[in-house]
């Protein structure tokens, strides 16, 4: 448990005089230009409390990364031999010297062990301090910065320093230079009259022919409304029954006071999955997260994620992680804490658990360029730890095409945030190598949906597992296409895709239609969870980190994914990229064919002819 006592000046003064480290020479650790689209206003109140997260170096992380790829390589002899929690922690633990020196520095400012909390591996130190003390420790000044378009605000600085002798022992400290606007990815939300809408397609309309679907066809109504039945038909999963008793679990993350309502879930089940009626899910509260079951407080995002993920995978046990720490806050209602990095809060919690869901879906993101590179890489390392432990992580790819995720193209900020203000495509994050990014499709036969986020990272280089597929796509581009607007050597997204619009959910007691790649992520996650159920029932380990397997299957058994070749993802005043044969930065390698994938992943991958 974290603990913090407000300052007792006399007691702290005694500690300060005893430990002179606070007075040593400092060195700038990180500096960023004033962020585009933000205005610096008043100095932060001296007594405003912020939670400093101090990252200590992980000297053995390269070894962990090697283990991750070895247990995720479908041709490797270690495939599926995931690491334990303890093994992972031993590979990310900092050096004892780093712990000692950072402890000394904190003690010199009156922060002793009882004021601190640590991650299980001791690679993070977390402490709540007033702005006045943070400014003293980091030789900086915090201000309230207001986002021009939304009026939201954060307490931040554009540079901070640490004692010179700690430079090799502290990797980063946040919140300092991060100006991210963490948000859910939901492009459209419409309340529809269900009876009026149902009349648009005649009840006797012939089914749509889709050779890769279950039975070779999909009900015609699925071009108007996406239901659980539509997805099971389209992705060739009709007739598969998940197990409730083989240890398989699926998790959904929730942020920003998005509450998953259980009454709405029962309405959804009655409408689309009657065999699941009276079943539910477990809610875990993290960092002050809440579980408000007032019907009017139901969250569209949370209901979408839970209803479709749990509906697809019933009777697999489901968990909803409700994580508090809503960013940004309003400057006129300064809160007692300023926890604006909810990914970190969630990672802190789940990495400390012995047992985790094998499949976890997230439909929230920041803009890549608003997150300092050091912090983005550190969060990426946390996702790698989960992958090494056998967890498959899915993230929606964003709803702004090649833009920054704003629904209105006129509001998209397609410029670099580094002081140059150069025109640039903007990705949502996390777009790290260790998660699976899910783009979006629409209609049947499937085409790319226009808002499907995709492109190339400016932070993370392209991993080896996608080199062949992405290089083939880049070779199809005419010379000079979008030159300077994207990094052709970057980690490319998305990896895969799924349906992303016209989803019928229940919200506050009413049926509504909703869309976004936030629908695609729980859909693809549901298919992955069904694959995990099939494997666990055969005594095989869970799939874990998916991407090496996805790109291997795509290269050798392309029919396991439905290739999407129509559509594009406009943004930043351009048509964006085109969906095309093979991998593309709109729909990745395509949408899943569960039947084909199940046949592959439930056999010995090393001995499948042709694979």
Catalytically annotated residues: 301, 305, 518
Q: Could you tell me the sign of the dihedral formed by the alpha carbons of 353, 61, 384, 103, in that order?
A: positive
Would you give the distance in Å from CA 144 to the centre of its chain? 27
Helices and strands in the chain, H and E counts: 15, 29
Residue spans of beta strands (DSSP E) within 237-386 = 250-254, 282-286, 318-323, 359-362, 364-367
Residue 123 near residue 300 (C-beta atoms within 8 A): no
* The length of the chain, given as a count of residues: 611
First to last CA, the chain: 48
Residue 586 near residue 452 (C-beta atoms within 8 A): yes
Please list, in sequence order, all residues whose beta carbon lies within 8 angstroms of the beta carbon of residue 195, skipping any fewer than 6 positions away.
none
Taking alpha carbons only, the member of 362, 359, 326 closest to residue 342 is 326
Residue 286 near residue 244 (C-beta atoms within 8 A): no
Taking alpha carbons only, the member of 301, 284, 400 closest to residue 345 is 284
Please list, in sequence order, all residues whose beta carbon lies within 8 angstroms of the beta carbon of residue 167, skipping any fewer than 6 positions away.
27, 29
Count of alpha carbons within 13 angstroms of residue 101, beta-carbon side: 17
The vertex-157 CA angle with 151 and 162, nearest 5°, equals: 160
Angstrom distance (rounded) from CA 411 to CA 404: 9
Q: Can you read off the two tokens belonging to residue 37?
A: 């689209």
563 is in an annotated binding site: yes
Taking alpha carbons only, the member of 437, 486, 490, 442 closest to residue 463 is 490
The vertex-181 CA angle with 28 and 547, nearest 5°, equals: 90
User: Helix, strand, or coil here: 240?
Assistant: coil
Residue located via tokens 């990672």: 347
- Rg over alpha carbons for the chain, rounded to the nearest Å, is 24
Angstrom distance (rounded) from CA 420 to CA 283: 45
601 burial via Cβ count (<10 Å: 0-12, 13-18, 19+):
buried
50 is in an annotated binding site: no
**Residue 579 has what DSSP assignment?**
P
Phi then psi for residue 427, to 5 deg, are: -95, 155
Angstrom distance (rounded) from CA 400 to CA 414: 11
584 is in an annotated binding site: yes
Residue spans of beta strands (DSSP E) within 176-324 = 183-184, 188-190, 208-209, 217-218, 250-254, 282-286, 318-323
Angstrom distance (rounded) from CA 475 to CA 488: 11
Binding residues: 563-564, 582, 584
Binding residues for Ca(2+): 563-564, 582, 584
């Amino acid at each position: 448990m974290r603990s913090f006592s407000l300052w007792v000046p006399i007691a702290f003064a005694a500690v300060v005089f005893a430990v002179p480290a606070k007075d040593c020479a400092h060195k700038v650790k990180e500096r960023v230009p004033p962020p585009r689209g933000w205005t610096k206003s008043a100095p932060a109140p001296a007594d405003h409390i912020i939670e400093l997260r101090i990252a200590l170096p992980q000297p053995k992380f390269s070894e962990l990364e090697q283990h991750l790829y070895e247990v995720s390589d479908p041709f490797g002899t270690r495939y599926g031999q995931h690491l334990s929690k303890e093994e992972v922690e031993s590979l990310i633990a900092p050096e004892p010297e780093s712990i000692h020196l950072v402890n000394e520095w904190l003690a010199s400012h009156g922060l002793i062990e009882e004021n601190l909390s640590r991650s299980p591996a001791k690679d993070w130190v977390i402490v709540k301090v007033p702005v006045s003390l943070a400014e003293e420790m980091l030789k900086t000044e915090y201000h309230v910065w207001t986002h021009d378009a939304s009026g939201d605000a954060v307490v931040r600085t554009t540079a901070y320093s640490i004692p010179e002798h700690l430079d090799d022992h502290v990797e980063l400290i946040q919140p300092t230079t991060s100006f991210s606007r963490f948000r859910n990815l939901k492009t459209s939300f419409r309340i529809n009259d269900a009876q009026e809408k149902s009349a648009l397609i005649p009840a006797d309309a012939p089914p749509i022919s889709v050779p890769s679907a279950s039975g070779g066809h999909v009900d015609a109504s699925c071009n108007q409304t996406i239901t659980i039945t539509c997805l099971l038909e389209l992705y060739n999963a009709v007739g598969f029954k998940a197990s409730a008793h083989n240890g398989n679990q699926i998790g959904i993350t929730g942020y920003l006071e998005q509450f998953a309502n259980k009454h709405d879930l029962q309405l959804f089940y009655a409408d689309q999955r009657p065999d699941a009626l009276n079943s539910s899910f477990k809610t875990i509260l993290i960092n002050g997260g809440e579980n408000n079951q007032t019907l009017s407080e139901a969250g569209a995002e949370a209901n979408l994620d839970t209803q479709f993920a749990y509906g697809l995978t019933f009777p697999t046990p489901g968990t909803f992680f409700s994580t508090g720490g809503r960013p940004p806050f309003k400057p006129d209602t300064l809160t007692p804490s300023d926890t604006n990095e909810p990914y970190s809060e969630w990672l802190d919690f789940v990495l400390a658990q012995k047992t985790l869901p094998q499949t976890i879906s997230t439909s929230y993101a920041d803009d890549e360029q608003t997150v300092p590179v050091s912090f983005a890489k550190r969060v990426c390392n946390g996702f790698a730890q989960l992958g090494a432990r056998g967890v498959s992580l899915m993230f929606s790819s964003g709803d702004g095409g090649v833009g920054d995720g704003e629904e209105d193209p006129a509001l998209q900020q397609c410029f670099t945030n580094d002081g140059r203000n150069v025109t640039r495509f903007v990705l949502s994050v996390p777009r790290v190598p260790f998660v699976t990014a899910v783009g979006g499709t629409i209609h049947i036969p499937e085409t790319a949906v226009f808002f499907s986020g995709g492109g190339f990272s400016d932070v993370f280089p392209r991993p080896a597992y996608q080199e062949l597929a992405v290089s083939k796509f880049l070779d199809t581009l005419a010379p000079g296409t979008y030159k300077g607007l994207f990094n052709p050597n970057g980690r490319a997204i998305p990896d895969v895709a799924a349906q992303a619009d016209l989803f019928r959910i229940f919200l506050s007691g009413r049926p509504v239609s909703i869309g976004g790649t936030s629908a695609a992520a729980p859909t693809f996650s549901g298919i992955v969870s069904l694959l995990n159920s099939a494997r666990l029932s055969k005594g095989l380990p869970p799939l874990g980190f998916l991407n090496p397997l996805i790109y291997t299957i795509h290269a050798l058994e392309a029919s396991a994914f439905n290739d999407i070749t129509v559509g594009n993802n406009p943004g930043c005043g351009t048509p964006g990229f085109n969906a095309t044969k093979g991998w593309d930065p709109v729909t990745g390698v395509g949408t899943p064919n569960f039947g084909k994938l199940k046949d592959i992943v439930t056999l010995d991958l090393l001995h499948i002819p042709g694979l």
